[in-house]
Structure 1
């Protein structure tokens, strides 16, 4: 037997052994998945995504594709980032970072949840966090709306005393805003948002103005607040 023939035969044997070893390692019943550890999934049904890819607790760990599972998870509306890893011999780790819903927008009769960047997460459904202000902006260009919503919600996040009171917010041209509280008070703001919210906070701390029987507070004149009381026919017991 020549040297080249011997080398060729050895190569064939090694290749056959490698194929046999791969098939044996990937065979059903070997390295079975026994545990799926999920973290960060508050709104995402991870198990449904895992099941849709044919992954169950009898599946060979070597046949689970972490990249494919991560890609599928990133297509879920709530998922901002996903990490998937196999921890041998039998554990699949899934760690999610979900988007945070800060407010809602309305299009026709449909409400949409918006994230920290002012982008849509999904249409609101029962079970979603619906106690959020609804922001309407029919005047800004579509590509400008997310930034404007984000700027407003950033200011509102710094003022939880006001955020929890708001039911709806309307953006107007020129950077103006109209805010509606859950008690029915209308707040008129100009593009001097920070200074006017600061004045409103001072009025609330000193006079509890938002707890009084008023219809409107106009803060658009610098350093002043014009208050319109409820009309007599409106001054019955408040609800809501």
Structure 2
């Protein structure tokens, strides 16, 4: 892949968007590469979760590559957004394996939308976050209007989107937009700490929790009913038997994801 570097270590898939000279802006090729990588995350049994970051010290992802769509028609614009939702952003959000965004610098436009599609967001203290699309005569098109509202509430989402202002990492943490703020040097280590802890838990239960929590935000789904069904199904797993038995035997559980 020309736009993304990957590495697997200790069951963690490291995904680095490798366009530092363009501040890691998302272009068509990058989105296609991301889609392919996230699909592999679903099926690769050697990997339990992923960390997504951007190359270099300046940016996570500083937006989309505007030159690629500046002459698009209405239909092309709608298709651009629809394809992004289906092939990348929704795919990340619905991954049964946890995905953490390591925000190392600017996370703007499509970059912030990418981070918001991840399950957790950890930011370095130099990070700046925002959705500046209205300065281009657009609105966020990769789920930004919806996910930002879910994370920070209607009033703050409106303020950020309508003013196009950036916020600092500390303000983002106060708003609940990011989970933790660290130094740049400690950013990946903090993500590894959190993800390693998740990987020590029962994989099927982790996936079920992600799915049921996501159901809360779907108007056509009953999250309480989904929780009951998922809770019951987990009683039929080997991980449930191992988890309860290890608890009773006062030993560490050895989960297999079965």
Larger RCO of the pair (alpha carbons < 8 Å, separation 6+):
2
Q: For this structure pair, what is the TM-score category when the shorter chain's length is used for normalisation?
A: under 0.3
What is the TM-score of this pair, normalised by structure 1?
Answer: 0.22
Larger strand proportion of the pair: 1
What is the TM-score of this pair, normalised by structure 2?
Answer: 0.21
Larger helix proportion of the pair: 2
Structure ID, larger Rg: 1
